[in-house]
Amino acid sequence: MNCALVIAVALFSFANAANAKLPREWQRARTLYFEGIGGNHAAREDADRLFTEMYREDPNAPMIQVYYGSLRLLEASSTWALWKKNSLCMEGIRLMDQAVSSQPESLEIRFVRAATTYHLPSFFHRKEQAREDFAYLARVAVSAAHDGRLEPRLAAASLYFNGELLNEAGCEEGAIASWKSAISIAPESPAAQGAREKLAEVKR
């Protein structure tokens, strides 16, 4: 289960795009989260500590739930104890589902869930949910990036992953359109680079 790699590719440059309307503690926790996803183990531990504290204080806040839940799955990916791995995964999935259910209009929450669960083993039966999340995000990605509802690099990443899933399902035309949109939204993003590579493969 390589959740960390999946999210790192998609969100590498999102760490510093903190929303100024959010509390300082929240901004720091989210920045540390993305630094941790990028490979900084100390930052990931600090993010986990901060999100754990915030979750204890406000367990019903959807934006806290989704990040705290994501961190549970990331912790599961690095533990050897099967019983603990399963327990952490179930807790993380439950919290992310609850966050999306409580705030379905939040594109960031939906993206974190999709990117975190995208590569879960098949016995968790989450691939279809990730597919639906990315399809939903892809439908609104362009307009959301333009009106500020979704950071452009997140929008591009949504389109990149949607293209992968469409291509996997045999819909090459739809995949190509999705990858081209990813490039147009955030040309310098990691997702755009990945989309260019995918398009080059399709042309071979």
Each residue of 77-114: pLDDT tens digit?
Answer: 877 777 788 899 999 999 999 999 999 999 999 999 99
Q: Where are the domains of the chain?
A: 1-125, 140-204
Binned at pLDDT 50, 70 and 90, residue 55 comes out as: very high
Q: What pLDDT score does 7 carry?
A: 46
Q: What pLDDT score does 10 carry?
A: 46
> Using the 8-state DSSP alphabet, how is residue 13 labeled?
T
Q: Helix 172-185 vs helix 152-168: angle between axes, to the nearest 10 degrees? A: 170
What's the chain's average pLDDT? 86
Type of residue numbered 8: A
Mean pLDDT throughout 49-58? 94
Q: What pLDDT score does 6 carry?
A: 45
Q: What pLDDT score does 84 carry?
A: 84
* Model confidence at 172: pLDDT above 50: yes
Q: With 0-12 CB in 10 A as exposed, 13-18 as middle and 19+ as buried, what is 23?
A: exposed
Mean pLDDT throughout 124-138? 93
Q: What pLDDT score does 13 carry?
A: 42
